[in-house]
Chain A
Amino acid sequence: MSITVEIIICAFLLMGGLFVLLGSFGLLRLPDFYTRLHAPTKATTLGLAGLLIGSMIYFFVAEQRLVVHELLITLFLLITAPVSAHMMAKSALHHRVKMVKHTQGQQLANTARKRQPPPSDGA
């Protein structure tokens, strides 16, 4: 395996690891439910995708065969994670979970709860 490939794999793995770590850290540190939701669903998913791509390149080079599992897993995660986040946010809204002052888009919470379209800017 050439050093270039190794560097590429390492870069992916490191990047993935970094994002997963960030996601976990965010889960720990962010102030309210809505903001906390971002960390595991966005950062961690991205990090996992990085790890998986690294793995895919490794097996492709090391075992000389095309491995598509990782792609499928990535695809699966990319589809499911946002939906999970959406569902969790929905139930949090339904249960009127408290928000901290800085959470953005607070004014939309009520309309979202009632499943109404957001008011247009001009109105």
Chain B
Amino acid sequence: MNLIWVPLLPLLGTLVPLLTERGGRTLCAWATALLPALSLMIILSHAPSVLSGATLKSALPWIPALDLELAFRLDGLGLLFSLLILGIGLLVILYARYYLSPKDSMGRFYCYLILFMTAMLGIVLSNNLIQLWVFWELTSISSFLLISFWSDKREARRGARMALTVTGAGGMALLAGILLIGNVVGSYSLDQVLASTIQIRESGYYPAILVLMLLGAFTKSAQFPFHFWLPHAMAAPTPVSAYLHSATMVKAGIFLLARFYPVLSGTDMWFLIVSLTGLTTLLLGAYFALFKHDLKGLLAYSTISHLGLITLLLGMDTKLAAVAAVFHIINHATFKASLFMAAGIIDHESGSRDMRKLNGLWKYMPYTATLAMVAASSMAGVPLLNGFLSKEMFFSETLHQSTLGSLSWIVPVLATCGGVFSVAYSLRFIHDVFFNGEPIDLPRTPHEPPRYMKLPVEILVALCLLVGILPGYVIGDLLNSASSAVLQGLVPSYSLAIWHGLNLPLAMSTVALIGGLLIYYNRRVLFQFQAQFPEKDAKEVFESLMQSIIAGCRWLNERLENGSLQRYLMLMLLLTIALTAAPMMSLNQTTGSRPQLPADGVTITGAALLILGALATVIWHRKRMIALLTLSIVGLIVSVTFARFSAPDLALTQLSVEVVTIILLMLALFFLPQRTPKESSPHQMMRDLALSAAVGGVVGTLCYALMTRPFHSISEFFLANSKTGGGGTNVVNVILVDFRGFDTLGEITVLGIAALGIFKLINRMRLFMPAGDERGRPWSDDRYPMILAVVSQLLLPLALLVSVYIFLRGHNMPGGGFIAGLITSVAIIQQYVAHGVDFIKDRLKLNYQWLIGSGLLIAMMTGLGSWVAGRPFLTSWFDHFHLPLIGDFELASAMLFDLGVYLTVIGATLLILANLGKLTTAERPVLTKEEL
């Protein structure tokens, strides 16, 4: 089957747990596991050909215009990681079935988990770098959701935020690196990038590319100095830790290093940065793991340490080191996942993860203890287990590298030190938890977990043993194939035997084992020594860093946005002047060549009224009611002006908008003081006057200069094509519903969102309601005068008739959905004014949110409808029909679209106005008991 199904099936699978959640926990788990299991089968069916050296590819066009495609490839490395992701993922699904308590939402958990699985599969199978990055970010987001699964816990939220911040920032660096690579290579296809090694290494961008890519990988893989987020991510439920922090998420960074190994490695810069980072992380993690009292904390630091080990291997200049790295990826995933699961079982059955309390559990859960001890021994590198083999290879490679020149001897020494601590903390995990006396006041009496909770651990531990004893048979082919994918060439010969004879690596292993024993035996001394250092909590450091960044942003923001509208306006106007004044000054002649129209008396009167209205608004701006009335003069004159210059559509729209606006403002004014205090100092007034005069001068000149010049617009095109292309003679309407239909769709969507936002804003708002006007005269007690009420009701059908008329003729004559919607709104608002909310509520059962939604849906569906006919989105259709009695008429899909506009406009307008009006009535929200 096609490769694309491998990530696609789990993606579909994200819905499965949500749908089956009600069917019980077991059903939910099985149903969830189904689709990933299918993916695993697809991968396994491809495995033989991949193991024999083939690379499978498949691609689907995604955004062809941007040269992007959904491209997948399966090579050895991808196969290895897919098997880890799907295999361990399935085990984790089974494990989580028993781990989660009935209180936790299982559907949500599995949904996030499968989403994460999809994202990981996407990363390891991507054949396009941009696509890889998208999946990379998806892992950050889904891991955020998983870590914060118990979102009521503060440390879970903090840990999740920290992980998201660090890995998200790394993702940004990765994107920058990918873009640079794309720039150098000229393609984002992984095939081409892998084939352009020399081109990349020799380009001047190489250092920047390397640093950015490494930042991405190191943040994800918790390498020093970005390691601090991993221990805090342990606030996640343990199945998440077992999955994300052993086998997948943190390995994504390692995968990135391995994936780009052929391209980026081979330079001194790579070896130096990668190996030193790996070495530091290895030592740091191993050392601190010993001092963690929390079981999962110990495992987290040991994971950091092992990730450092793999990074170090990738940073060494021998080919065998890369093979060892791949081998350790497998081994670490198996033993660490099983250890996390064992820790989860212990936590689940005893109620604590504190190793100072957990002692002597051998008596209570011998079976689990055995499993955990085998896995921990593998972590320590005890012979006959898989950890021993890869550690042996690691020690051997440290002896063969020359990364640090003549100082290279330091690497094997430090590696052995790391091994010593690794043995010590593994011992602590075994001895402290399962032996070492009796448990100290545990919340629960520990006992063995349910049968199937142990199964995943058993499988993983069995794998540890099998690989450890029969490495060649079990893992040889896979390792070979994955290593050749990393090296992009021949794999050097190596032997996967347990016994290589008495040699230096074996001696190092022995030193590590004995040294670890000694250190653990003398641990009290070491603990006391460590206690002298002040405990530094990464959480606090991170939090204070975040706080200072936020404070800095806030400071900057407050300089720009201090809440003063005058200031915003001033800044914007200043910018306008700055941008327009210079070109205006270079314009030598203001008056253009176009002949001017004669000014007649009516026009001059209109202009004079406009000016007077504007002036009056400014003069009386502190008396809000009067200012509103004078402002409406301006609006009315503007609409008359539209009518005069043959824009009847605009005139109608302006008129109805004016009415709605005035009602809205009157309502808003009701809650505001009738007079505003003097807010501007004389100084500010002078400034504002000067500024507005300057802007008025510049804009006026600009308009004059523009209008006196002949100019060519696209109006001619619209006029010529409106009837033939859009089927309507009203060009304005055809532009709205056809030529620029997509714009209109966007606009009504914004309108709907804005209305919902305002609704949300005022829904629970308790505003001061004045009992009288500014002179203290009380409101009339006659709220709904009878004559007004009766006549308004009479007018409703008339107004609706007009709106339907305007709507229907809109395509060919002035009108259309927008104007008709406004007229209908005004008619209904009139009823609200005349009758009050209570009266309307019983009679008009319109849900305005639904009205907005259905309007948008209709408009959208009309657009999609043209797909059915095989045409581009929103292609309009029209035809003429004949009906007896009525005569010829035209049907156009644009009309349906206009209906959507109509409904949205009504819904949006009424949602705002009716709810604002409601605040003045008995329906206004009151304080509930809790809020008091």
Contact = CB atoms under 8 A, between A and B. Distances in A.
Contacts of B791: 79-80, 83
B364 to A, nearest CB: 85
A100 B899 CA distance: 54
Nearest to B801: A72
A65 interface: no
Contacts of A98: none
B490 interface: no
Contact of A95 (B777, B794, B795): B777
Interface stretch (B445-453, B691-699, B782-790): B782-790
Nearest to B792: A83
A76 B780 contact: no
Nearest to B780: A94
Nearest to A95: B777
Contacts of B788: 83, 86-87
A71 B798 CA distance: 12
A50 B794 CA distance: 24
A contacts with B: majority SS: helix
Nearest to A91: B780
A83 B787 contact: yes
Contacts of B777: 94-95
Contacts of A95: 777
B798 A72 contact: yes
Contacts of B795: 76, 79-80
B651 to A, nearest CB: 15
Contacts, number: 27
Contact of B785 (A72, A75, A87): A87
A94 B773 CA distance: 12
Nearest to A86: B787
A90 interface: yes
Contacts of B787: 83, 86
Nearest to A73: B802
B507 to A, nearest CB: 104
Contacts of A76: 795, 798
Nearest to B795: A79
A87 B785 CA distance: 8
Nearest to B775: A95
A83 B795 CA distance: 12
A102 interface: no
A83 B791 CA distance: 8
Interface string A79-108: 110010011001100110000000000000
Nearest to B794: A79
B625 to A, nearest CB: 13
B794 A90 contact: no
Interface in B608-637: none
Interface size class of B (residues with CB under 8 A): 10 to 19
Contacts of A79: 791, 794-795
A86 B834 CA distance: 13
B474 to A, nearest CB: 90
Contacts of A83: 787-788, 791
B609 to A, nearest CB: 15
Interface string A52-84: 000000000000000000001001100110010
B600 to A, nearest CB: 19
A72 B782 CA distance: 31
A76 B798 CA distance: 8
B824 to A, nearest CB: 16
A94 B777 CA distance: 9
A115 B783 CA distance: 12
A90 B798 contact: no
A94 to B, nearest CB: 5
A72 B791 CA distance: 15
Contacts of B794: 79
Interface string B785-812: 1011001001100100010000000000
Contacts of A86: 785, 787-788
Interface string A36-63: 0000000000000000000000000000
A83 B788 CA distance: 6
A90 B786 CA distance: 12
Contact of B782 (A75, A80, A90): A90
A82 to B, nearest CB: 8
B798 A115 contact: no
Nearest to A90: B785
Nearest to A115: B782
A106 to B, nearest CB: 20
A76 B794 CA distance: 10
A79 B796 CA distance: 12
B804 to A, nearest CB: 13
Interface string B759-785: 000000000000000000100101001
Interface hub of A80, A83, A90, A91 (most chain B Cβ within 10 A): A83
Contacts of A87: 785, 788
A76 to B, nearest CB: 7
A71 B45 CA distance: 81
A105 to B, nearest CB: 17
A72 B785 CA distance: 25
A80 B802 CA distance: 15
A87 B795 CA distance: 16
A86 B791 CA distance: 12
Contacts of A80: 791, 795
A57 to B, nearest CB: 22
A119 B559 CA distance: 69
Contacts of B798: 72, 75-76
A105 B798 CA distance: 35
Contacts of B802: 72
A86 B795 CA distance: 16
Contacts of B780: 90-91, 94
A75 B222 CA distance: 79
B766 to A, nearest CB: 27
A20 to B, nearest CB: 15
Interface string B346-359: 00000000000000
A25 B787 CA distance: 28
A75 B791 CA distance: 12
Contacts of B785: 86-87, 90
Interface string B22-38: 00000000000000000
A98 to B, nearest CB: 14
B648 to A, nearest CB: 13
Interface in B79-121: none
A16 B516 CA distance: 110
B791 to A, nearest CB: 5
Nearest to B789: A83
A31 to B, nearest CB: 23
A87 B780 CA distance: 12
Contacts of A72: 798, 802
A72 B797 CA distance: 12
A76 B788 CA distance: 14
A90 B795 CA distance: 21
A91 B777 CA distance: 11
A48 to B, nearest CB: 16
Contacts of A94: 777, 780, 782
A58 to B, nearest CB: 19
Nearest to A93: B780
A90 to B, nearest CB: 6
Nearest to A113: B780
Interface of B: 777, 780, 782, 785, 787-788, 791, 794-795, 798, 802
26 contacts: A72-B798, A72-B802, A76-B795, A76-B798, A79-B791, A79-B794, A79-B795, A80-B791, A80-B795, A83-B787, A83-B788, A83-B791, A86-B785, A86-B787, A86-B788, A87-B785, A87-B788, A90-B780, A90-B782, A90-B785, A91-B780, A94-B777, A94-B780, A94-B782, A95-B777, A115-B782
Given A79-B791, A83-B787, 18 more contacts: A72-B798, A75-B798, A76-B795, A79-B794, A80-B791, A80-B795, A83-B791, A86-B787, A87-B785, A87-B788, A90-B780, A90-B782, A90-B785, A91-B780, A94-B777, A94-B782, A95-B777, A115-B782
Query: What are the 4 A-B residue pairs with the smallest beta carbon separation, nearest first?
Result: A94-B780, A83-B791, A86-B787, A83-B788
